[in-house]
């Protein structure tokens, strides 16, 4: 069903942007059909946020302000965070992306936090927690004369609750889990995601202190403290702990690190409380029960005739601050405590996207000193003008209620409307809507292959590059396909050298370049900068350690790294063919030497019932004298696609086993595949019929004494689980820039 024409002029949107909006943002009826056009959605948002002006001035020209907001959004000069686009003017009305909840050291406080988490996730928000207040495992519990199970066991409760809640709604729930480095269970926490089947709804970061980092530098021991009474319960060598963090990050990208003392150095309201946690992507430090409303300037829009249009940028910064302050009033908060704390501090987070686009338009390579210097200058301008706009609102509307005792009050500053003004968040789907590069990240690729549903492969090309290629006369479909396969312009001689110099991708820059850019933007950002430092698969542990140390020395507030292929099973389609041997290549080599086993007349077997979203699936596994031989499936519901696909799967598994393919390779290919109708939760969760078959095989092997040491971990979505497209790691989160899927949103 097509969307009815709107009386409002439609903004210019790419096909990808329209797909994302229709799938995730527009109001829909019970059958899933859109009830509004993109232009209607933008007008709905502009009207709702402008209406908040009447709270402060009954005579406010709301219609005029709404038109300003609408023009700013539909020109893509600025876009608010996804919950605001989705929910402004709708019944849910929850407009914030970021929340932090306290986790106290009692059963009542812990399960209150679980309940509040469910309410926030149901409304479309993500949550951050510090588990540092929980007493360590095996510590005494006086009320029961028993012992504590420790923070990690309670993290499982939060993870299971998120898994259940996230299946509904327009945004997935996501969590950040943080533990102080001096907590007695810190080593267990560092390793808690080594098994990738666990804590899939959490990003985790270790909270590092200045004392710890100094002990690392001096190769000294540091104290472990029981949070129950601050008593010393042991010591560890700081350098060994730091190396364990680095080793595990090299293995699969987690844990990240945050520098707690730096978060609190810039805490604007220390008299209200200590900052212990951040939102799921790490860029927004918050006090317990705080939320933050985010939005991003599209920097590529502010280049005019080869230079930055500073005057227009200033104007949009001021309008954006006005918009975000109004969001605080228009918001419907999921908890009264969040309403009260958010209104008391009125934190907003104005950030950026399109930084790589701006550099390209200015003909500045991303990995250059000039780019780093410009990033620092640009963010200082945005931060300064943002605070000026906040002070102007403060003079009209009053300072945030906790202003007295804040860092602004102590410095004798003028009235300040917002405790914080700037944040660099990952922009995920909103950068897709604006057809802009994401956050402050480099281009992921100049060209890549998009697989559509009928099996057709389409070449997607960066719009700035495509325009230049056509203007300069070197555009061809064949060249774009070559770029997509190559992953970089670096060695493609058909492209002029000046173009190759400017169109730098994530494949072309060093991890040190990432950190230098992150530090440049952090220097003039109130909160923090969300950025992923990408490493090639060949990176060493020592190189990861070097970047973590560099992040500390350059003033970053935290860092997230990702080593290519450390979690994903598939090589991205932009990688060079000769850089890595693929699974398919390995299997072809195996098939050359495979000898198919003949079927005996009689075999012994076991049948397992697996509950899928399409009904019960019965998986029968037969063995001959050499081991696993064949697999049959029967659906509880006869007929249909699910039954035929399951039968086909059984035939292929049987052929693989009879041809010498190991069971663990079969499990590796099937486990973790998702469908539209999963079933169960926690350890019993079945994502699809393929996932059910894989788990039946695992169960059979465990129950029949097979060696499970070599069994594969859960498939960690090398490709997008919704469209099969390229997944990019940004801000500690996996994002698909084809369909808009986000692991953290």
Positions marked active-site: 279, 281, 283
- Return the DSSP state at 684: G
Who's near 681: CB < 8 A, 6+ residues apart? 160, 163, 164
CB atoms within 10 A of CB 449: 18
Per DSSP, helices labelled H in 575-632 are 583-592
Please report which helix (H) or strand (E) contains residue 100, including its range.
strand 98-100
Long-range CB contact pairs, 405-408, < 8 A, 24+: 405/269, 405/271, 405/272, 406/268, 406/269, 406/271, 407/267, 407/268, 407/269, 407/270, 408/268
CB atoms within 10 A of CB 654: 18
Please report which helix (H) or strand (E) contains residue 450, including its range.
strand 447-451
CB atoms within 10 A of CB 379: 23
Residue 7 CA to residue 335 CA, distance in Å, equals: 37
Q: Output phi, psi for 417, to 5 deg.
A: -75, -30
202 bridge partner residues = 175
Strands, E assignment, 536-662: 558-563, 604-612, 615-624, 627-635
Instruction: Evaluate whether 238 touches 219 at the Cβ level (below 8 Å).
Output: yes
Distances (CA, A) of 408 to 265, 287, 399, 416, 585: 13, 17, 10, 8, 61
Give how far the C-alpha of residue 675 lies from the chain's centroid of Cα atoms, to the nearest Å: 21
User: Using DSSP, how many helices (H) and how many strands (E) does the chain show?
Assistant: 25, 25
Residue 599 CA to residue 78 CA, distance in Å, equals: 65
Q: Are strands 202-208 and 256-259 parallel, antiparallel or unpaired?
A: parallel
Tell me the three state secondary structure of residue 507. coil
Instruction: Evaluate whether 274 touches 267 at the Cβ level (below 8 Å).
Output: yes
Residue 414 CA to residue 394 CA, distance in Å, equals: 8
CB atoms within 10 A of CB 494: 11
Q: Output phi, psi for 687, to 5 deg.
A: -85, -25
- Return the DSSP state at 171: S
Instruction: Evaluate whether 270 touches 264 at the Cβ level (below 8 Å).
Output: yes
Residue 128 CA to residue 291 CA, distance in Å, equals: 10
- Return the DSSP state at 444: S
Q: Computed from CA positions of residues 698, 701, 704, 707, in that sequence, does the dihedral angle turn out positive or negative?
A: negative
């Amino acid at each position: 069903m097509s969307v009815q024409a709107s009386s409002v002029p439609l903004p210019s949107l790419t096909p990808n942007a329209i797909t994302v909006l229709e799938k995730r943002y527009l109001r829909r009826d019970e059958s899933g059909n859109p009830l509004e056009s993109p232009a209607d959605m933008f007008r709905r948002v502009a009207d709702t946020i402008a209406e908040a002006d009447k709270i402060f001035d009954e005579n406010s020209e709301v219609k005029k302000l709404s038109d300003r907001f609408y023009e700013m959004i539909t020109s893509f000069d600025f876009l608010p965070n996804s919950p605001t686009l989705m929910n402004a003017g709708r019944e849910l009305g929850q407009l914030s992306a970021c929340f932090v909840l306290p986790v106290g050291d009692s059963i009542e406080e812990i399960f209150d936090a679980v309940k509040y988490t469910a309410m926030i996730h149901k409304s479309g928000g993500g949550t951050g927690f510090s588990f540092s207040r929980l007493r360590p495992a095996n510590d005494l519990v006086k009320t029961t004369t028993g012992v504590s199970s420790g923070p990690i066991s309670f993290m499982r409760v939060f993870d299971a609750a998120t898994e259940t809640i996230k299946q509904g709604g327009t945004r997935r729930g996501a969590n950040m889990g943080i533990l102080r480095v001096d907590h007695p269970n810190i080593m267990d926490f560092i390793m808690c995601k080594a098994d990738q089947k666990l804590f899939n709804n959490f990003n985790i970061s270790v909270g590092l202190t200045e004392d710890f980092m100094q002990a690392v530098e001096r190769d000294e021991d540091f104290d472990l403290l029981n949070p129950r009474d601050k008593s010393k319960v042991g010591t560890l060598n700081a350098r060994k702990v730091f190396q364990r963090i680095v080793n595990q990050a090299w293995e699969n990208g987690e844990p990240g690190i945050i520098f707690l003392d730096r978060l609190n150095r810039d805490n604007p309201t220390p008299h209200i409380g200590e900052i212990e946690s951040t939102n799921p992507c790490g860029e927004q430090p918050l006090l317990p029960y705080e939320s933050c409303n985010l939005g991003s300037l599209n920097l590529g829009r502010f280049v005019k005739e080869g230079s930055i249009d500073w005057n227009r940028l200033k104007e949009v910064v001021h309008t954006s601050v006005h918009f975000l302050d109004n969001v605080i009033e228009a918001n419907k908060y999921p908890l009264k405590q969040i309403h009260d704390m958010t209104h008391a501090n009125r934190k907003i987070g104005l950030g950026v996207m399109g930084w790589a686009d701006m550099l390209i338009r200015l003909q500045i390579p991303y990995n250059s000193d000039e780019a780093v210097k410009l990033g620092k200058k640009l963010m200082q301008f945005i931060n300064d003008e943002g605070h000026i706009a906040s002070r102007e609102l403060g003079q009209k509307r009053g300072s945030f209620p906790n202003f007295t005792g804040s860092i602004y009050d102590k410095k004798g500053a003028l009235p300040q409307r917002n405790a914080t003004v700037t944040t660099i968040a990952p922009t995920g789907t909103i950068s897709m809507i604006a057809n802009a590069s994401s956050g402050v990240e480099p281009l992921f690729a100049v060209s890549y292959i998009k697989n559509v549903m009928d099996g057709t492969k389409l070449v997607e090309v960066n719009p700035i590059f495509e325009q230049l290629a056509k203007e300069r006369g070197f555009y061809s479909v064949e060249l774009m396909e070559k770029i997509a396969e190559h992953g970089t312009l670096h060695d493609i001689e058909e492209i002029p050298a000046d173009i190759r110099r400017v169109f730098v991708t994530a494949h072309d820059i060093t991890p040190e370049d990432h950190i230098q850019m992150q530090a440049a933007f952090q220097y003039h950002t109130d909160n923090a900068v969300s950025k992923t430092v990408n490493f090639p698969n060949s990176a060493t542990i020592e190189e990861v350690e070097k970047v973590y140390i560099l992040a500390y020395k350059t003033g970053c507030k935290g860092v997230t790294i990702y080593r290519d292929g450390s979690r994903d099973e598939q090589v991205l389609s932009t990688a060079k063919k000769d850089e890595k041997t693929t699974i398919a290549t390995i299997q072809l080599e195996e098939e050359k030497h495979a000898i198919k086993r003949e079927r005996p007349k009689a075999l012994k077997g076991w049948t397992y019932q697996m509950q899928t979203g399409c009904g019960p699936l019965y998986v029968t596994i037969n063995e001959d004298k050499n081991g696993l031989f064949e697999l049959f499936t029967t659906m509880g519901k006869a007929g249909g696609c699910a039954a035929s696909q399951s039968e086909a799967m059984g035939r292929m598994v049987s052929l693989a086993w009879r041809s010498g393919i190991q069971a663990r390779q079969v499990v590796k290919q099937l486990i973790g595949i998702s469908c539209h109708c999963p079933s169960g939760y926690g350890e019993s969760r079945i994502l699809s019929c393929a996932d059910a078959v894989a788990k039946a095989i695992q169960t059979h092997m465990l129950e029949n004494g097979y060696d499970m040491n070599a069994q594969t971990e859960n498939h960690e979505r090398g490709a997008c689980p919704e469209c099969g497209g390229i997944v990019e790691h940004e801000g500690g989160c996996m994002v698909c820039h084809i369909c808009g899927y986000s692991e953290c949103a």
